[in-house]
Chain A
Amino acid sequence: MDIRVQSDPFQPGEALDTFCDGPTDVGAVVSFTGIVRDTGGLTRMEIEHYPGMTERAISEIARRATERWALSRCLVIHRYGSLVPGDRIMMVATASRHRAAAFEAAQYLMDYLKSRAPFWKKEFGPDGAEWVAATDEDEDALNRW
C-alpha cells in the first residue's frame, strides 16, 4: 500500500510504470487519474485537507479495498494546495491477479476517497470563490458497496 498526500505535482505515467513493476503474481493493473475540470470560467482550485487524518483515512480505505479484493498492490496519490484546470489532482492504481478485482477495487477507492477522505475543494472564477458542495450522488455511490 502506497499512500501519498502531497502539494507537489506528479506524473501519472511515471507512477503507473513504477507501480507495474513488482512481484509477478499480478495479471491486471487498473489506474484512474483525476484532472481539474474547467466547468466554465474556473481559474484555479484550492484543495484543503486535514493533515494526519487524511493519511489515516486513506490508509483505512485502501486497507479495506486490499482485503476485500485480495489486491497485490494499491497506490493512492492525492494533491492539496493550488491547482489549475488540466492539473492532475489525484490517482489510484490497483493490482490483482485478474482484472475484475482491480477494476472494482479502483472504483471502490474512488467512491470512498470522494466523500470519506478529508479534502475540501474551493473553486475560484471571475465571479468569486465558492466551496464545492458534496452531492447526494457521492453519498449514494457508497451504498453499492
Chain B
Amino acid sequence: MIDVMYFAWVRERIGEPHEALETEATTVAELVAELKTRDPRYEAAFADLSALRVAVDQELANFDAPLKGVREVAFFPPMTGG
C-alpha cells in the first residue's frame, strides 16, 4: 500500500488531497501510467509530465524512481516558495 499525495492544481484536478493505493507499479512512471487508465481526472492531471514534480518518501525524485519499499509518493507542480 502506497500513500499518494497531490498538491496545488494537481490536487484540484484529481479532487483528492491523498489516497492509499494498492499497485503493482515498480516505478513512479508506471504508477502514473496506471493512474491514467483509472479515470479521466488522472489523465487531466498527468497530461504533461514536464509540468510536474514528484517526491518519493518526501525527497524530490525522478519519474523513473523505483517504488520498492516506498511508503509515500507525492505529485505537484514546480514549487513557488519564498
Contacts and interface: CB of A to CB of B under 8 A. Distances in A.
Interface in B19-61: 55, 58-60
Contacts, number: 72
Interface residues of A, number: 26
Interface stretch (A17-25, A96-104, A131-139): A131-139
Contact of B80 (A50, A52, A110, A114): A114
Nearest to A111: B82
A116 B82 contact: no
A44 B67 CA distance: 38
B77 A115 contact: no
A53 B79 contact: no
A53 B55 contact: yes
A53 B61 CA distance: 13
A131 B79 CA distance: 11
Interface of A: 34, 48, 50, 52-53, 56-57, 78, 89-90, 110, 113-122, 131-134, 138
Interface of B: 5, 7-9, 11, 55, 58-60, 74, 76-82
